[in-house]
C-alpha cells in the first residue's frame, strides 16, 4: 500500500526467521530496511541468573531451562560496535499454558505474553543503543498458567547497528559456552634481554580491595613449563598455587609414562602436593593461605638444569604478614634442560558463574637473576588475551601501566577494552629484590 509516497511493508523481517533456522515467527515487527542484519545470541554462552541460584531455573547449554521460580531473573550481555536501534526476538517454548514475561534493557521495559510448546520466535520490542559497548538484557517472569515460565534458547537481534563485530559467544564449538561464561583471560608476556639466562624470576602482586573475586587466579610467575600465583577458591579458602607440566601431552595425569612424570623433590610446611589434569597434566602444589586484598605479596621461582636431562623448578612465597620466605615446592621435570623462558603473568576467572564480576590485579617490580645471582629488571610486557578475547566473544578485558605498575583487568562487561598485542613500558623501579638467594628455605 502506498500512502503519500511512503511504502508501508506489513511483513516480518525474513532474515530473523532464517537465522532461527526457520522457526515460526509470532512477531509484529514491521521493516522494509534492506540494511538491517540479524544475529542469534545463544543463551547458553551469554546469560546468567542474577541471584546465582539454580533451584527453579538455571542456565544450561540449551539455554534457560526448568524455570519455575518467579523471583529468578536472567541477564544476557551483548556488546554493540555501533550505536543505533535494534529489534529483539526471544526464541522460546512454553510447555503448557500462557506466560507473561518482562524484558528490560537500556532503562526501557516491555511486557509480552507467550505460549506454544514448539520453539517459536516472539517479538519483544525495539530499543535504541546510544553508544558502543555492552547492553544487559534482562528477562523476568510476571505470571504463568502452566508448569514453567518458558524454555528460552536464544535471543535474535536485528537492525542496522547489528554488525559482524557485535560481540557475544556465537556457538559452543570447542566448549565455548563454558569458556565464554568464564570470561577472557589476559596476560603480560615479559620482554627478556638477549643473552640472559634467567635462573630466577621475581614478581610482586597486589590485588586491590574488593577485587578478590571468587574464582580468580592472579598468576605472578609463569614460565614455559608451569606457573605460580594465588587464587580465591571459595568464600573460606585461598591457595598459593605452584604447578609444573609434564613433557607428556595429556589431560589425564594417569596416562603419563613413569619416565615423563613430574617428581616432587621437596615441599614446604603445610603444602599439599599431587597431580593435576584437564589443561595439560603434571605436578601441583598449593598452600592454604588467607592472603588479603590490598596487601602486596612477593613470588620467586627458580629453574636449575641438573645436567642429567632434568630441570628442577622451585617456588617461594613471601607474605608481609609473616615477613619471611616460605618454600612452596620443588619439582624435577624430565626431558628438560632449560632456564626460565617465556616469562609471563596472567589474570583468569575459573568459575563460570563469576564471569559477570570485574576483577583487577597489579604486577610490579619484575626482576630476573642469572646463574651467578646477577639481577636484571624487566620493565616491558606484551599484552595478550586468550581465544575468548581473540575471537571477539568477550571484549571486557584491559591492561596497561598504572602508578608505575603493570595491571590486568577482566570480566564484568565493562566497555573500554585494550588493544591486544601491544607492549607496555613501566618506569624502572631500580628496587632490586631484597632476598638472600643462598639462604632461602
Average of per-residue pLDDT values in the chain: 92
pLDDT digits (tens, 9 = 90+) for 149-201: 999 999 999 999 898 789 999 999 999 999 999 999 999 999 999 888 999 99
**What percent of the chain clears pLDDT 90, i.e. is strictly above it?**
84
Residue 32's pLDDT band (cuts 50, 70, 90): very low
What's the predicted TM-score (pTM) here? 0.90
pLDDT greater than 60 at residue 98: yes
Q: What is the CATH number of domain 2-168?
A: 2.60.120.260
Fold for domain 182-439?
Answer: Jelly Rolls (2.60.120)
Confidence band of 9 (pLDDT split at 50, 70, 90): very low
Q: How confident is the model at residue 36 (pLDDT cuts 50, 70, 90)?
A: confident
pLDDT of residue 280: 57
- CB contact at 8 A, 86 and 161: yes
Residue 169 · residue 259 · CB < 8 Å: no
Q: Give the cell for residue 308.
A: 642429567
Element (H, E) at 178: helix 176-182
Of the pLDDT bands very low, low, confident and very high (cuts 50, 70, 90), residue 23 is very low
pLDDT at residue 279, rounded to an integer: 57
The closest of 20, 22, 1 to 11, measured between CA atoms, is 1
Mean pLDDT (whole number) for 37-62: 96
Q: How confident is the model at residue 12 (pLDDT cuts 50, 70, 90)?
A: very low
CA 120 – CA 99 distance, rounded (Å)? 14
Q: What angle do CA 151, 412, 84 make, to 5 degrees?
A: 75
Task: Assess whether pLDDT exceeds 60 at residue 366.
Answer: yes
pLDDT at 275: 57
The pLDDT value given to residue 292: 98
What string of H, E and C letters represents the secondary structure of 305-348?
A: ECCCCEEEEEEEEEECCCCEEEEEEEEEEECCCCCECCCEEEEE
From 213, 316, 191, select the one nearest 266 (Cα to Cα).
Answer: 316
Residue 11: per-residue pLDDT: 37
Give the pLDDT mean for 128-134: 96
% of the chain with per-residue pLDDT over 70: 91
Residue 327 pLDDT grade (very low, low, confident, very high; cuts 50, 70, 90)? very high
Instruction: List pLDDT tens digits, range 264-316.
Output: 999 999 999 975 555 557 789 999 999 999 999 999 999 999 999 999 999 99
The domain ranges of the chain are: 2-168, 182-439
- Exposure of 264 in the CB half-sphere (CA atoms within 13 A): 17
C-alpha radius of gyration, the chain, whole number? 26
The candidate with the shortest Cα–Cα distance to 331, out of 378, 229, 263, 397, is 263
At residue 224 the predicted structure's pLDDT band, cuts being 50, 70 and 90, is: very high
* DSSP 8-state class, residue 279: S
Q: Could you give the CA distance from residue 408 to residue 360 in angstroms, rounded to a whole number?
A: 6
For residue 1, pLDDT over 70 is answered with no
Q: What is the pLDDT of residue 33?
A: 54
What are the cell numbers at 27? 512477531
The stretch 73-96 carries a mean pLDDT of 97
Amino acid at each position: 500500500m502506498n500512502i503519500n509516497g511512503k511504502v508501508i511493508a506489513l511483513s516480518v523481517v525474513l532474515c530473523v526467521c532464517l537465522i532461527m533456522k526457520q522457526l515460526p515467527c509470532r512477531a509484529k515487527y514491521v521493516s522494509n530496511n534492506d540494511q538491517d542484519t540479524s544475529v542469534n545470541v545463544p543463551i547458553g554462552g551469554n546469560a546468567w541468573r542474577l541471584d546465582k541460584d539454580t533451584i527453579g531455573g538455571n542456565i544450561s547449554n540449551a539455554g534457560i531451562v526448568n524455570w519455575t521460580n518467579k523471583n529468578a531473573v536472567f541477564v544476557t550481555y551483548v556488546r554493540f560496535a555501533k550505536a543505533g536501534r535494534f529489534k529483539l526476538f526471544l526464541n522460546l517454548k512454553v510447555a503448557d499454558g500462557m506466560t507473561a514475561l518482562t524484558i528490560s534493557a537500556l532503562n526501557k521495559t516491555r511486557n509480552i505474553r507467550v505460549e506454544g510448546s514448539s520453539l517459536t520466535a516472539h517479538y519483544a520490542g525495539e530499543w535504541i543503543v546510544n553508544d558502543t559497548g555492552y547492553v544487559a538484557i534482562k528477562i523476568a517472569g510476571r505470571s504463568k498458567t502452566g508448569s514453567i515460565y518458558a524454555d528460552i534458547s536464544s535471543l535474535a537481534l536485528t537492525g542496522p547497528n547489528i554488525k559482524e563485530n557485535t560481540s557475544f559467544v556465537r556457538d559452543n564449538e570447542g566448549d565455548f559456552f563454558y569458556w565464554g561464561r568464564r570470561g577472557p583471560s589476559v596476560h603480560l608476556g615479559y620482554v627478556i634481554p638477549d643473552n640472559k639466562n634467567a635462573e630466577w624470576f621475581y614478581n610482586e602482586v597486589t590485588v586491590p580491595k574488593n577485587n578478590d573475586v571468587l574464582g580468580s587466579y592472579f598468576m605472578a610467575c609463569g614460565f614455559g613449563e608451569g606457573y605460580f600465583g594465588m587464587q580465591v577458591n571459595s568464600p573460606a579458602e585461598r591457595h598459593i598455587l605452584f604447578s609444573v607440566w609434564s613433557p607428556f601431552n595429556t589431560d589425564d595425569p594417569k596416562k603419563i609414562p613413569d619416565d615423563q612424570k613430574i617428581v616432587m623433590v621437596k615441599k614446604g610446611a603445610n603444602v599439599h602436593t599431587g597431580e593435576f589434569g584437564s589443561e595439560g597434566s603434571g605436578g601441583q602444589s598449593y598452600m592454604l593461605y588467607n592472603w588479603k586484598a590490598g596487601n602486596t605479596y612477593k613470588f620467586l621461582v627458580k629453574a636449575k638444569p641438573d645436567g642429567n636431562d632434568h630441570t628442577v623448578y622451585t617456588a617461594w612465597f613471601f607474605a608481609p604478614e609473616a615477613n619471611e620466605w616460605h618454600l612452596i615446592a620443588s619439582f624435577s621435570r624430565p626431558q628438560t634442560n632449560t632456564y626460565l623462558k617465556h616469562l609471563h603473568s596472567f589474570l583468569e576467572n575459573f568459575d563460570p558463574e563469576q564471569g559477570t564480576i570485574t576483577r583487577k590485579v597489579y604486577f610490579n617490580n619484575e626482576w630476573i637473576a642469572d646463574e651467578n645471582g646477577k639481577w636484571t629488571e624487566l620493565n616491558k610486557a606484551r599484552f595478550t588475551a586468550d581465544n575468548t578475547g581473540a575471537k571477539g566473544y568477550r571484549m571486557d578485558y584491559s591492561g596497561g601501566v598504572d602508578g608505575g605498575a603493570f595491571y590486568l583487568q577482566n570480566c564484568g562487561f565493562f566497555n573500554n577494552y585494550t588493544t591486544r598485542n601491544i607492549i607496555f613500558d613501566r618506569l624502572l623501579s631500580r628496587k632490586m629484590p631484597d632476598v638472600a638467594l643462598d639462604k632461602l628455605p
